C-alpha cells in the first residue's frame, strides 16, 4: 500500500509539472523578474493571445509591450523598442524542469544576460547549467594569426565584451552572437571580421547542461 501511495504521489508530481505550461508559469512569475509588467499585464497577454488578438499591453511606464510568441514551453516579449525577454521551460533528466530566461537590451549594441529558475521561480546557479563563452571563443583559433594587428583587435574587443543570446522556440538550443565589433569603427570592424568565426556559437541542451555544439 505504501509503495502504491508513493507511486501515486510521484505520478501526481510529474503530471502537475507537465501541466505547468509557459502561460501559467508566466502569470505566476514574480514582478521582480520583469519589473516593467504587472501581474495584470501578464494575465492580459495570455488572454489576448487565447482570443486570437495581438498581446499588446500598457506597461508600468505607460508604453506598449507585446508578447510576440507563445508555445507550451517558450515565450518572447518585446518589452520596449530596445529590449526583449525570452523564456523557455526545459526538462531535466529527473523529470523536473527549469526555466531559462534571457534579457536583451540594445544600447546601442545588443547585449544579453541569462538566468535559470525553478518552476517556482527560485533563482538557480547559472554555472550549474552552462559555462558561458568568452571573447576568445568567437575568434578563429589559429597560431598563424598571432600577429600584432590581431592582438590589437583582440585587446579592443576585450575592453567591452558584449554578446547577444537567443533561445530557439522549437528546440533546446542557444545561439551566441558576438556584438562587440559593432562598437568599433568601420575599418576595425572590417579587419576584425577576418579573424572571427562567421556563424553564431550554438549550444545544445545535453545531460542537464547547455554545451557547445560540435
- The pLDDT, as a whole number, for residue 188 is 85
Looking at residue 115, its pLDDT comes to: 98
The candidate with the shortest Cα–Cα distance to 209, out of 135, 113, 95, 131, is 131
pLDDT in tens, the chain (214 residues): 444 333 333 333 433 444 689 999 999 999 999 999 999 999 999 999 999 999 999 999 999 999 999 999 999 999 999 999 999 999 999 989 999 999 999 988 999 999 999 999 999 999 999 999 998 899 887 666 667 777 787 777 777 889 999 999 999 999 999 999 888 888 888 888 888 998 999 999 999 999 999 7
* E-assigned strand segments in the chain: 55-58, 64-70, 74-80, 83-91, 97-106, 110-118, 123-124, 163-167, 173-178, 201-206, 209-212
DSSP structure class, residue 38: -
Of 9, 68, 66, 8, residue with least CA distance to 37: 66
pLDDT given for residue 155 in this prediction: 79
Residue 19 has a pLDDT of 60
Nearest one of 30, 172, 39, 193 to 98, comparing CA atoms: 172
The closest of 131, 146, 145 to 201, measured between CA atoms, is 131
Amino acid at each position: 500500500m505504501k509503495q502504491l501511495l508513493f507511486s501515486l504521489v510521484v505520478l501526481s508530481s510529474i503530471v502537475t509539472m507537465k501541466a505547468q505550461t509557459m502561460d501559467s508559469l508566466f502569470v505566476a512569475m514574480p514582478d521582480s523578474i520583469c519589473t516593467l509588467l504587472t501581474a495584470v499585464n501578464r494575465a492580459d497577454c495570455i488572454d489576448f493571445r487565447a482570443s486570437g488578438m495581438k498581446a499588446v499591453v500598457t506597461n508600468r511606464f505607460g508604453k506598449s509591450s507585446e508578447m510576440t510568441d507563445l508555445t507550451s514551453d517558450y515565450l518572447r516579449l518585446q518589452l520596449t523598442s530596445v529590449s526583449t525577454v525570452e523564456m523557455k521551460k526545459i526538462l531535466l533528466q529527473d523529470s523536473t524542469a527549469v526555466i531559462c530566461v534571457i534579457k536583451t537590451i540594445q544600447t546601442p549594441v545588443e547585449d544579453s544576460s541569462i538566468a535559470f529558475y525553478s518552476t517556482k521561480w527560485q533563482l538557480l546557479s547559472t554555472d550549474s547549467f552552462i559555462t558561458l563563452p568568452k571573447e576568445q571563443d568567437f575568434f578563429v583559433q589559429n597560431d598563424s594569426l598571432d600577429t600584432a594587428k590581431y592582438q590589437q583587435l583582440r585587446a579592443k574587443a576585450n575592453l567591452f565584451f558584449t554578446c547577444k543570446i537567443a533561445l530557439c522556440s522549437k528546440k533546446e538550443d542557444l545561439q551566441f552572437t558576438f556584438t562587440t565589433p559593432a562598437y568599433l569603427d568601420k575599418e576595425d570592424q572590417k579587419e576584425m571580421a577576418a579573424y572571427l568565426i562567421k556563424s553564431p556559437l550554438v549550444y545544445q541542451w545535453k545531460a542537464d547542461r547547455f554545451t557547445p555544439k560540435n
